[in-house]
Structure formats: structure tokens, C-alpha cells
Amino acid sequence: QADSNGFIVAYPQGIARSKGNTEWDPGDNGATNINDNDVYFVQQLIADISSKHSINGTQIYATGYSNGGMMSYGLACTLGSQIAAVGIMSGIMLEGTCIETDYTPVIHFHGTNDYALPYDGSGDFQSVEDVISFWVSHNQITDPPVTTTSNNGQVTLDSYSGGAEESSVLLYTIEGGGHVWFDQEIDGQRSNDILWNFLSGYDLNGRL
């Protein structure tokens, strides 16, 4: 559907698989069936929307919460030629192979007390630090981060910039935040606004 600014917003739902619940599988297994390959499904979704609406194909973004964040990271890794930037809310990246020549800007929000996807990682999931380090390296960012705090020190922003194709990586750490914390403003702004301001500042060619 189109929002009040005329942007097309798609809210796809993952398919129910072996776990019995709907879920996203971020990996690209090469299958050309939308029930078996969620990356292929997103490709077909983009093609379908593009055939029905006039959109700017250089400004397509992926965002997600929790497992949806995993899917967004998967798209950044395997569909970076179509996805201009990604936003992750309380999600994590699953280990896998990324296309080396696609440099995708990333903004990630995560609470230090996230019980579902622990900030410091677990036996099943990487730590947030490891994921951010991967994307800093992948995007060929060599400058140290600029670190700022807000909300009386409760929120820390680590901002990495100067990467290939003007890519950047932003990490918002919410001290004491759990898996759900979205009612909290950050320096007077809603997290959704911060997310959109970051994403909309990029297209496939770099920073706008």
C-alpha cells in the first residue's frame, strides 16, 4: 500500500515451515519457488510491485523486526544489487555468504537485555558486535566510529561512515532494552523516524 507520502510499503508474511509457525529463511538456496526460497520470493515481490506501480527501483529498502531483521540481513547479503539499505530492529544476522561486491548501508537497533536474541550472542546466534564488525569490514569502512549518547546515556549510537559507495553502518544500543522497547523515543525522535531518515538517504548509487 502507499503511505501518506506516496511511498509503496509492502508487508509480506513468511511461510509456515517445519517449526509450524510462519517464519523467514534468510538464505538463498537457489530454488525458484516462492514457497522454498524467501530471497526468490522477495525478488518476485519486487517484480510484481514494479509491474503494478511506478516506483524508483534504486530506492528499495528492507526492514524487519526479530526474524524479519534476519531476513533483511539476508537480503543485504544476497540481494544487495536491488536493496539500497536495510534497517534491523532487535534482529541478528545468521551466518552465511554475502556477495562481496554489494555494499549495503545498515542501521541496527538492539537492547542490551534482549532475551530472544541476546546482545552478546548465544550458542545459536552471533553477538551484535560481531555482526556490526562484519558489516563494517564488508562495506570497507576503515575509519573508527563516532560514538554519541542520548537519553541521559541510556542510548549509544556508534556511527561508522566512509565505506565503499558511501556506505555506512549505524548501531543504536539501548541500555536495558529488551526484545521489545519501541515506545521509547531517542533524543526526542521515534525510532521509526530515525530508521526512515537513514534509509531514505540512500539509493543503489550511494548517498543522496
Rounded mean pLDDT for each run of 10 residues along the chain, 208 residues in total: 71 85 92 95 96 94 97 96 98 92 97 97 96 98 97 97 97 97 91 96 95
Strand partners, 150: 155
Residue 95 cell numbers, joined: 551466518
* 107, HSE (Cβ side, Cα atoms, 13 Å): 19
User: What integer pLDDT is reported at residue 2 of this predicted model?
Assistant: 53
User: What integer pLDDT is reported at residue 20 of this predicted model?
Assistant: 78
First to last CA, the chain: 24
User: What integer pLDDT is reported at residue 103 of this predicted model?
Assistant: 96
Give the span between the Cα atoms of 122 and 119, in whole angstroms.
Answer: 9
**Rounded to two decimals, what is the model's pTM?**
0.95
